[in-house]
């Protein structure tokens, strides 16, 4: 592997751009290749075999783009498929998991809430993760499928987003949660709607910056950090061939996305 090679990042859709943005901020000199599996989104209701298959396909695609490391910018794919992927590929693979540890450390009420996909909440890895903290805090979970659709359709800043957030989060607040974990990368884009519902009652836990930091440490250990001379480029791919995929990615990335979609 060479330091000049890009970092590969993927998600079921555009949610992983929240991790991509944190990586761009932390590691401005790196080239990035982002893959959004929009044609197969959402992963949150798919079976593990399909998620494994899609992830394997995408990692192969990112390897063909010359990536030096893979970031699974998707909680659902991480908790269900990272172990499998590590048996299939030698390339370093970093994932994202719900931030239960920081939430447990910061909670004063001893009750924390997690928002995630159904498939994340049902996974064995999630059960293991929660078991580690179950003596310390009471963990309440809520599957939020409508959140993913709101972000994919760029409705994340709408009044409807606030209404949906109220439906999902009010029961958690009523139960005493003082920390709300964003256990899906799409949900970072709903921060403003979620904040309106939380007010001062609870804090948001988002692991995007921690993932970028972990990636930086890993690249440093592997001597694969790209030297800081010029700002890196970012390329975007999607399994959905339509103009709106590019438009949605451009709007959430905050810059023009300069590569057309490809069908895999
Ligand atoms: N962004 C993905 C995650 O972090 C899930 C969205 C989906 O259901 O595809 O879990």
Mean pLDDT in consecutive groups of 10 residues from the start of the chain, 264 residues: 94 97 96 94 96 97 97 98 98 97 97 98 96 96 97 96 98 98 98 97 97 98 92 90 82 77 53
184 lines ligand 1 (CB under 6 A): yes
What's the CA-to-centroid distance between 65 and ligand 1, angstroms?
Answer: 23
Domain 100-206 coded CATH 3.20.20.150: no
What's the CA-to-centroid distance between 176 and ligand 1, angstroms?
Answer: 26
CATH number of 7-96+209-261: 3.40.50.1860
* pLDDT value for 119: 97
120 lines ligand 1 (CB under 6 A): yes
What's the CA-to-centroid distance between 2 and ligand 1, angstroms?
Answer: 30
- The full 3-state SS of the chain, as one line of letters, equals CCCCCCEEEEECCCCCHHHHHHHHHHCCCCCEEEEECHHHCCCCCCCHHHHHHHHHHHHHHHHHCCCCEEEECCHHHHHHHHHHHHHHCCCCEECCCCCHHHHHHHCCCCEEEEEECHHHHCCHHHHHHHHHHCCCCEEEEEECHHHHHHHHCCCCCCHHHHHHHHHHHHHHHHCCCCEEEECCHHHHHHHHHHHHHHCCCCEEECCHHHHHHHHHHHHHHCCCCCCCCCCCCEEEEECCCCHHHHHHHHHHHCCCCCCCCCCC
Q: Residue ranges of the domains in the chain? A: 7-96+209-261, 100-206
* pLDDT value for 263: 53
Atom from ligand 1 closest to the CA of residue 96: 4
7-96+209-261 shares its CATH topology with 100-206: yes
Atom from ligand 1 closest to the CA of residue 41: 9
Say if pTM beats, i.e. exceeds, 0.85. yes
């Amino acid at each position: 592997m060479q330091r000049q090679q890009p970092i590969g990042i993927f998600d079921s859709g555009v949610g992983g751009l929240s991790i991509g943005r944190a990586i761009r901020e932390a590691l401005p000199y790196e080239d990035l290749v982002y893959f959004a599996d929009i044609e197969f989104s959402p992963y949150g209701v798919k079976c593990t075999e399909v998620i494994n298959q899609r992830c394997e396909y995408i990692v192969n695609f990112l390897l063909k783009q010359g990536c030096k490391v893979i970031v699974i910018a998707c909680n659902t794919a991480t908790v269900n498929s990272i172990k499998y992927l590590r048996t299939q590929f030698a390339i370093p693979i970093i994932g994202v998991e719900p931030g239960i540890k920081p939430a447990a450390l910061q909670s004063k009420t001893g009750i924390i809430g997690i928002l995630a996909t159904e498939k994340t909440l049902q996974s064995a890895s999630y059960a293991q993760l929660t078991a580690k903290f179950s003596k310390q805090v009471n963990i309440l979970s809520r599957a939020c499928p409508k959140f993913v659709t709101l972000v994919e359709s760029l409705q994340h800043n709408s009044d409807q987003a606030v209404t949906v957030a109220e439906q999902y989060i009010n029961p958690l607040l009523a139960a005493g949660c003082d920390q709300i974990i964003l256990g899906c990368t799409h949900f970072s884009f709903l921060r403003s709607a979620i904040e309106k519902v939380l007010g001062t009652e609870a804090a948001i836990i988002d692991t995007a910056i921690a993932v970028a930091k972990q990636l930086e440490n890993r690249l440093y250990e592997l001597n694969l950090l790209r030297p800081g001379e010029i700002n890196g480029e970012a390329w975007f791919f999607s399994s959905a061939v339509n103009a709106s995929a590019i438009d949605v990615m451009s709007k959430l990335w905050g810059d023009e996305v300069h590569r057309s979609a490809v069908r895999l």
